[in-house]
């Protein structure tokens, strides 16, 4: 067992890990941060996306021991300090950007990575960036609306599908 320490949502956290402990398991099982979801566990679906040093990463496809000292942000870190929904989360609620909600943590984190790189993306850029995040409720139209709204753009201007 090896003790791995990371800064998770601004707080230093550590836990004893095995070599095979995935970042998703480190967050969920060892730190109790169950907001990060594991959907496919084969790096296809993107439900487990978190930010590692500011970049979107599939937490089911990275070993915790490889990320000693990393700064990690999970969906729990997206809320405002007072516990109210953060800007991206609020936009997902306002525009009904979720149905069953299972993919939502990954969608929110990928959106955070996108908007950090590109604060006012076009609809096409949003769809392209979210290609690695799958919603099996197929709620993409409202997800894209939510991302556009979170970026401060007019979500109502999107063409209906």
Partner 1 sequence: MYNFELVKPSTLAEAVAALAGEDAQPLSGGQTLIPSMKARLNAPETLVSLTGIAELKGVSRSGDTLTIGAATTHADVAEQAAADFPGLAALAGQIGDPAVRNRGTIGGSLANNDPSACYPAAALGTGATIVTNTREIAADDYFQGMFTTALEEGEIITAVRFSIPQASAYAKFLQPASRFALTGVFVAQYASGVRVAVTGASENGVFRWAEAEAALSSDFTPDAIAGLSCPADEMIADLHGSAAYRAHLVGVMTRRAVIAAG
* Binding stretches for partner 1 (CB under 8 A): 2, 18-20, 22, 41-44, 46, 49, 52, 55-58, 61-63, 65-66, 68, 110, 113-114, 129, 131-133
DSSP 8-state symbol, 20: T
DSSP 8-state symbol, 89: H
Q: Which residues pair with 16 in a beta bridge?
A: 3
DSSP string, 105-141: HHHHHHHHHHHHH-SS--HHHHHHHGGG---TT--HH
In the complex with partner 1, which residue's Cβ is closer, 8 or 45? 45
- Minimum CB separation from partner 1 for residue 20, in Å? 5
In the complex with partner 1, which residue's Cβ is closer, 73 or 110? 110
Residue 44, H or E segment: none
Q: Which residues pair with 51 in a beta bridge?
A: 56, 73
Residue 58, H or E segment: strand 55-58
d(CA 53, CA 155): 29
- Minimum CB separation from partner 1 for residue 68, in Å? 7
- Minimum CB separation from partner 1 for residue 50, in Å? 9
In the complex with partner 1, which residue's Cβ is closer, 53 or 93? 53
In the complex with partner 1, which residue's Cβ is closer, 71 or 94? 71
- Minimum CB separation from partner 1 for residue 63, in Å? 6
Is the distance from CB of 88 to CB of 115 less than 8 angstroms? Answer: yes
- Minimum CB separation from partner 1 for residue 64, in Å? 9
In the complex with partner 1, which residue's Cβ is closer, 131 or 154? 131
Alpha carbon distance, N-terminus to C-terminus of the chain? 51
């Amino acid at each position: 067992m090896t003790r791995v320490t990371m800064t998770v949502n601004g707080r230093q956290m550590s836990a004893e890990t095995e070599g095979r402990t995935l970042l998703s398991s480190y967050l969920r099982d060892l730190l109790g941060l169950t907001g990060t979801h594991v959907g496919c566990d084969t790096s296809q679906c993107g439900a487990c996306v978190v930010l590692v040093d500011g970049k979107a990463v599939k937490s089911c496809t990275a070993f915790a021991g490889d990320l000693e000292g990393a700064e990690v942000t999970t969906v729990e870190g997206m809320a405002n300090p007072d516990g109210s929904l953060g800007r991206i989360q609020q936009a997902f609620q306002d525009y009904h950007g979720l149905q069953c909600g299972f993919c939502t943590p990954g969608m929110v984190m990928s959106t955070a990575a996108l908007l950090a790189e590109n604060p006012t993306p076009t609809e096409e850029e949003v769809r392209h960036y979210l290609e690695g995040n799958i919603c099996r409720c197929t709620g993409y139209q409202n997800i894209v609306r939510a991302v556009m709204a979170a970026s401060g753009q007019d979500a109502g201007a999107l063409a209906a599908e």
